[in-house]
């Protein structure tokens, strides 16, 4: 078996997860950083020379450096996928991660906002200026569909069906899903398309739904800044993010009686176990069910 340099192995793996698995650019970059950090630790250019002892030594060093358990687990997951790929492609004869176990960590409960807080947030942008119409539509859509920020900024005009009231989006691994669109979000998007977006597009015919004043698509960082600005305007002092709004979307659905499988489909979770974490924060729904059905409630 010919020697494969570590850098070449990393390039092959990153190309594989980008092209064949369709992972996002940020995810690919994160895998790359983890692998380069490991390569610098082991100080060898031969991928086949890595054994379980070298990986264990790396994990021990991470623990000595007081890296969080979640960080240790993530880095081991990266190494597992990397060496499994090399083994599957027959670049190495043995997978050095085969006998290593992930550190046990608890899954933190998602941070959510109350229904009244979210209502104040999405209603904060007011008026007929293009920016106000855009931000109102953006906030309504984030909460109405539980979109990831990457899904929001990549959403195209053709992905939004205002007549059929649904949104077509592509999640992790380019997995497609269709999400219902409520009346409030539909009306906000309609107002933006009719009275706000034409002034931002400037006749360029941009494909994406949400534009900045220069007629280009919004960025993840731009959406985060806008969300923080409107949260302050709404009197919300806690830190907010698009993902926390996504958490709130799922939690509010469950608290109001939505089926767990339906929420899983709308969130785009491959495993229902990922969605089940929201059942831990849906105490209102549990109390209502208990009060309604238990004979001694």
- Please tell me which residue in 39, 148, 197, 247 is annotated as part of the active site: 148
To 5 degrees, how large is the angle CA 238–CA 239–CA 241?
A: 135
Annotated active-site residue 58? The verdict is: no
d(CA 184, CA 287): 29
**Under 8 Å between Cβ of 194 and 178:** no
Show the 3-state SS of 56-75.
HHHHHHHHHCCCCHHHHHHH
- For residues 104 and 88, give the distance between their C-alpha atoms in angstroms, rounded to a whole number: 27
- Pick the catalytic residue from 54, 84, 269, 284: 269
DSSP tag of 270: S
Secondary structure of residue 227 in the 3-state scheme:
helix
Vertex 226: Cα angle to 131 and 210 (nearest 5): 50
148 is catalytic: yes
Catalytic, out of 80, 166, 177, 243: 243
Catalytic residue among 136, 246, 247, 252: 246
In the numeric block, the tokens 């539909």 are attached to 186
Catalytic residue among 91, 136, 278, 285: 278
294 is catalytic: no
Please, what's the largest Cα pairwise distance for the chain? 72
Which one of the listed residues 172, 177, 244, 284 is annotated catalytic? 172
280 is catalytic: no
41 is catalytic: no
Catalytic residue positions, numbered: 148, 172, 243, 246, 269, 278
């Amino acid at each position: 078996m010919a020697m494969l340099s570590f850098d070449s192995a990393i390039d092959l793996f990153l190309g594989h997860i980008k092209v064949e698995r369709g992972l996002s650019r940020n995810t690919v970059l994160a895998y790359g950083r983890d692998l380069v950090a490991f390569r610098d630790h082991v100080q060898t250019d031969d991928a086949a020379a890595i054994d379980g002892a070298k990986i264990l030594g790396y994990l021990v060093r991470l623990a000595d450096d007081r890296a969080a358990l979640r960080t240790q687990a993530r880095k081991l997951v990266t190494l597992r996928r990397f060496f499994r790929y090399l083994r599957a492609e027959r670049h190495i004869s043995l997978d050095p991660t085969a006998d290593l176990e992930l550190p046990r960590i608890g899954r933190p409960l998602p941070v959510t906002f109350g229904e009244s807080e979210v209502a104040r947030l999405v209603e904060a942008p007011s008026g007929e200026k293009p920016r106000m119409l855009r931000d109102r539509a953006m906030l309504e859509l984030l909460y109405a569909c539980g979109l990831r920020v990457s899904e929001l900024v990549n959403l195209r005009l053709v992905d939004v069906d205002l007549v059929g009231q649904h949104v077509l989006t592509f999640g992790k691994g380019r997995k497609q899903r269709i999400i219902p669109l409520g009346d409030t979000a539909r009306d906000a998007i309609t107002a933006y398309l009719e009275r706000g977006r034409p002034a931002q597009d400037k006749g360029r015919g941009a494909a994406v739904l949400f534009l900045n004043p220069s007629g280009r698509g919004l960025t993840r960082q731009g959406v985060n800044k806008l969300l923080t600005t409107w949260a302050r305007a709404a009197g919300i002092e806690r830190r907010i993010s698009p993902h926390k709004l996504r958490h709130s979307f799922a939690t509010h659905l469950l608290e109001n009686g939505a089926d767990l499988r339906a929420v899983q489909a709308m969130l785009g979770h491959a495993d229902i176990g990922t969605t089940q974490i929201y059942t831990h924060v849906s105490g209102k729904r549990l109390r209502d069910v208990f009060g309604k059905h238990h004979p001694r409630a």
